[in-house]
């Protein structure tokens, strides 16, 4: 059992890192295209029609891939005061419960995201000959990475590595309004 979970954690480390790098790549694409769009509007007097569509699509991919590393790094924002106020064992139980609920949600998002992706395969993105399904696929694929990362959080917490919000771990959320 111990070996199985250790193996899982090693795999999860890799998948979450893949998700992070892919999310970064999409962010860079989105930012670069947004700058390109501004430039074309000023240099040629008319904005390029395709760059806005791809900016939005790349950003959607970046968001759904970035959630997995956000879970791993503890930057998801939650109301943790009850978990913190309870004795450690009870707080941990509550944390695991919240993670189970999270898993259920992303299972639903995977299922419905997949259904939606299949449904829109016939539709193309405005101004492009590309199917919208390529963008919708971010939901089910992102959900798989997220589910793995959430299970990783649960295993680490069960092994005693639970970053309690009031503990020595620095507080999460780097840039949030």
Partner 1 sequence: MNTALALSLGIFFLLGVPIAVAIGLASVIGIEAHGRLPLLLVAQRMFTGLDSFPLMAIPLFILAGNLMSVGGISQRLVDLAKAIVGGVQGGLAATCVLTCMMFASVSGSSVATTFAIGAILIPAMVKHGYPKPMAASVQASSAELGVLIPPSIPLILYGVSTDTSIGQLFLAGLGPGLLVAGALMALVLILCRVRGIGAKDGDERPRLGPAALAALPAMLVPVAILGGIYTGVFTPTEASAAAVAVALVVGMLFYRELKFRDLPDVLTKTVLATSAIMLIISAAALFSFLVTRSGLPNDIAALIRAVIETRFVFLLAVNILLLVVGMFIETSAAILVLAPILAPIAIAYGVDPVHFGLIMVLNLALGMITPPLGVNLFAACSVANIPVERIIPQLLWFVITVFAALMIVTYVPAVSLWPMQTIMGL
Q: Is 37 in the site for partner 1 (CB under 8 A)?
A: yes
Describe the crossing of helices 2-43 and 49-72 by its angle, rounded to 10 degrees. Answer: 150
Cβ distance to partner 1 smaller for residue 2 or 161: 161
Cβ distance to partner 1 smaller for residue 37 or 148: 37
Region binding partner 1 by CB under 8 A among candidate stretches 7-15, 94-102, 156-164: 94-102
- What tokens does 176 get? 């949030």
Among 11, 90, 97, 158, binds partner 1 (CB under 8 A): 97
* Placement of tokens 């998700």 in the chain: 19
Rounded-to-10 torsion of CA 160, 161, 165, 166: 70
- What tokens does 164 get? 């309690």
Q: How far is CA 20 from CA 37, 131, 168, in A?
A: 26, 25, 25
Distance of CA 174 to the CA centre of its chain: 16
Q: Is 157 in the site for partner 1 (CB under 8 A)?
A: no
Q: Is 70 in the site for partner 1 (CB under 8 A)?
A: yes
Handedness of CA 84, 90, 96, 102 (dihedral sign): negative
Q: Is 107 in the site for partner 1 (CB under 8 A)?
A: no
Residue count at the site for partner 1 (CB under 8 A)? 65
Interface residue list for partner 1 (CB under 8 A) = 20, 23-24, 27-28, 30-31, 34-35, 37-38, 41, 52, 55-56, 59-60, 62-67, 69-71, 73, 75-83, 94-95, 97-98, 101-102, 104-106, 108-109, 112-113, 115-116, 119, 135-136, 139, 165-166, 170-177
């Amino acid at each position: 059992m111990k070996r199985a979970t250790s193996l899982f954690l090693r795999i999860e480390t890799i998948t979450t890192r893949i998700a992070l790098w892919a999310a970064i790549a999409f962010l860079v694409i989105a930012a670069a295209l947004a700058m390109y769009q501004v430039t074309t509007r000023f240099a040629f007097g008319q904005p390029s029609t395709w760059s806005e569509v791809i900016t939005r699509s790349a950003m959607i991919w970046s968001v759904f891939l970035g959630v997995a590393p956000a879970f791993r790094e503890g930057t998801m924002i939650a109301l943790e005061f009850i978990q913190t106020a309870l004795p450690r064992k009870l707080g941990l139980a509550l944390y695991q419960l919240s993670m189970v609920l999270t898993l259920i949600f992303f299972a639903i998002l995977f299922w419905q995201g997949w259904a939606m992706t299949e449904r829109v395969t016939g539709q193309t993105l405005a101004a492009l000959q590309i199917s919208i399904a390529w963008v919708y696929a971010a939901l089910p694929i992102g959900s798989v990475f997220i589910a793995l990362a959430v299970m990783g959080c649960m295993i680490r917490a069960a092994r005693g590595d639970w970053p309690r919000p009031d503990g020595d771990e620095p507080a999460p959320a780097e840039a949030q309004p």
